[in-house]
Amino acid sequence: MSHLWALDRGAQLLPDNSVRFTLWAPRLRLPRLRVLSGPAQGDHALAPIEGERDVYSATVPNVGVDADYAFVTDDGRTLPDPVSRWQPEGVHAPSRVVDPAAFSWTDDGWRGVMMDELVIYEIHVGTFTPAGTFEAIIPRLTELKSLGVTAIELMPIAQFPGTRNWGYDGVAIYAAQNSYGGPSALKALVDAAHATGLGVLLDVVYNHIGPEGNYLEAFGPYFTDKYTTPWGRALNYDDMDSDEVRRFAIDNALYWVTEFHVDGLRLDAVHGIFDFSARHLIEELTTAVHTQGDRLGRSVVVIAESDLNDPRLLRSADENGLGLDGQWSDDFHHAVHALLTGDRNGYYADFGPASAIADALREPFVLAGRYSTYRRRKHGAASTGIPRRRFVVAIQNHDQVGNRAIGDRLSVLVSPAQLRLAAALMILSPYVPLLFMGEEYGETNPFQYFINHGDEHLVAAVRDGRLREFESFGWGKEVPDAQNDGTFQRSKLDWSKAEREDHRALLTLYRDLLTLRREESMLRPDGSTIDVSNGDPGWIALVREPADLFNRYHAWEYEALLTLFNCSDQSVDVPVPGSSTRAWSLRLSTDAPGYGGNGDVASSIDSSVPTDGPKRLIGADRIRGVRLPPWSAAVFAAMS
């Protein structure tokens, strides 16, 4: 095996119980280490490392695991380690030495999850369970697996101030949040997920660092004023002394993959990562992660959030791209949300009719060079030639729910039939679906924005900023106080709802849709060729036939699949493409009684869908059209 990367900044426990402390500190003249507990307690000088610019180190005997330490600045302040593995008392307190080899992993046979296998379930650790910890997630992994999920995605878990936060205010980016249980508990969650057959993706933030507890600037030029971001100062990835800042981010990505066995990273808002170097940070980071994954014998994916609609993120370096494995495609969400809710404010101004959903099924970027009314300019470029497995779509996620003024979910904005239609549009799309925790049973509790800052000036700034942010959406001034604990408590899932009849019907639909997607290879991304047609007053027809590549390896039970959507409030006669040469039988209808519907599919077709799963129905008809009830979807199969 070629050289395997290992973290060598921060505190490294050595076999003889000594610890090697390493610090990049170009802004300190005489950096010192202060050990705060154990036999080595006291101050220790740090010496420059030969051949490395402004990097200092000291190996201190008899420190051992669980010792607390800090670095001392020239003006006498004691500050936590920029590469701290654990902040047990929070962002302002000392760091703690961790033994990364102490955890007993049981996932030797785990090989990761490929993009075309992904069904992602996004989790905020603090609100997913009443306890709000890593370990409290473990008992629910089996039911997520049963649902049809293949990977959980954790919203950022890097140490943030206080005990409640979305995670995007993290400041100690190597330290797993103490109120969630710290590093050992995170490892236990990942190990348990792998034992259950689930991958774990981690949301990481490299476009900014949170304000409270951010002491990086005392050590070196981590930030630049060349660029601005909406969330804080831009990180210095291309100016003077930026090499170590780039290393800070890339090492962090490798750290989660290596020491915590995570299967992928979701890079937050990469349009806020500014780098005009010859080799972009994202490309360098992604290459490093892929290389480390290969050495570890695991598939590791890197997925970006971006609002640029720029296919270069996904193209290889040979094609002048950045080589990411995937990216979120928000246009799909916007198209579905705008149609179902009637929202036209803000970025929803570019969407609304059912034709926009049809466009999103054909091409993940609806705005692929089109004029954007919201931006008042042309936006995006086409993704021609990029496999559809590299696009992640959602009908709800933390941003699209939590960044509404009161954090209201789709379940309280639309009717049950519309909610079922939205689920079908996402899961039966040709992309990778992402579910937001609780959506599968129609959670109605909001997901609101919450913080627990200790700086009252910062709290006031957050309150004012939220009000200004919502002005363009016309949501008024009734914005919950992010600092109030009640805002956090209201945002917790109520799992008891999943046992109620109306919620259980939706849960059954989600489970059956995901089962159908798993059983029918043509419903997987890139498992088929796709032809999309649409017409008034809002119908969409999607025909799938086996892709040539897949024909070589699969014995197909069906020669084609047909998915019909009625995205309108009236019954619609949908023409069936190719109906004269194929006999179709119904596989699933979202209007089936078992899902809470009326079963009003056209009488010429056997419309009784079993509630115990999307089994193939007996009988087939050569049909020219199907009458679909309002806000519904149906899947048909043509026998081969």
Q: Would you name the residues annotated as active-site residues?
A: 268, 305
Output the six-digit token pair for 184.
């050992």
Residues with Cβ within 8 Å of 598's Cβ and at least 6 positions away in sequence, in order, are 591, 629
Burial class from Cβ neighbours inside 10 Å (0-12, 13-18, 19+) for residue 518 reads middle
The dihedral over CA atoms of 99, 104, 105, 106, expressed in degrees to the nearest 10, equals: 180
Handedness of CA 206, 208, 210, 214 (dihedral sign): positive
Kind and range of the H or E run holding 154: strand 151-154
Pick from 307, 215, 221, 238: which is nearest to 27 by CA?
221
Give first-to-last CA distance, the chain, whole Å.
Answer: 47
- CA diameter of the chain: 85
Concatenated DSSP letters of 40-55: T-EEEE-EEPTTSTTE
CA–CA distance, 167 with 180 (Å, rounded to integer): 11
Kind and range of the H or E run holding 639: strand 632-639
Burial class from Cβ neighbours inside 10 Å (0-12, 13-18, 19+) for residue 140 reads middle
Phi, psi of 154 (to 5 degrees): -90, 125
Exposed e or buried b for every residue in 469-501, given b needs 16+ CB within 10 A?
bbeebebeeebbbbbeeebbebbbbeeebbeee
Kind and range of the H or E run holding 635: strand 632-639
Residues with Cβ within 8 Å of 155's Cβ and at least 6 positions away in sequence, in order, are 122, 123, 124, 125, 166, 167, 203, 398
Q: Do the beta carbons of residue 293 and residue 300 sit within 8 Å? A: yes
Q: From residue 250, how far is each of 260, 420, 454, 557 by CA, in Å?
A: 15, 41, 30, 46
Output the six-digit token pair for 248.
């800070």
Residues with Cβ within 8 Å of 124's Cβ and at least 6 positions away in sequence, in order, are 155, 166, 167, 398, 437, 447, 491
- For residue 504, the tally of other CB atoms under 10 A from its CB is 16
Concatenated DSSP letters of 160-222: -SSS---STT--EEEEE-GGGTHHHHHHHHHHHHHHHT-EEEEEE--S---STT--GGGTS--
Q: Do the beta carbons of residue 162 and residue 454 sit within 8 Å? A: yes
Residues with Cβ within 8 Å of 553's Cβ and at least 6 positions away in sequence, in order, are none
Number of H helices, E strands in the chain: 14, 30
- Alpha helices (H) along 78-124: none
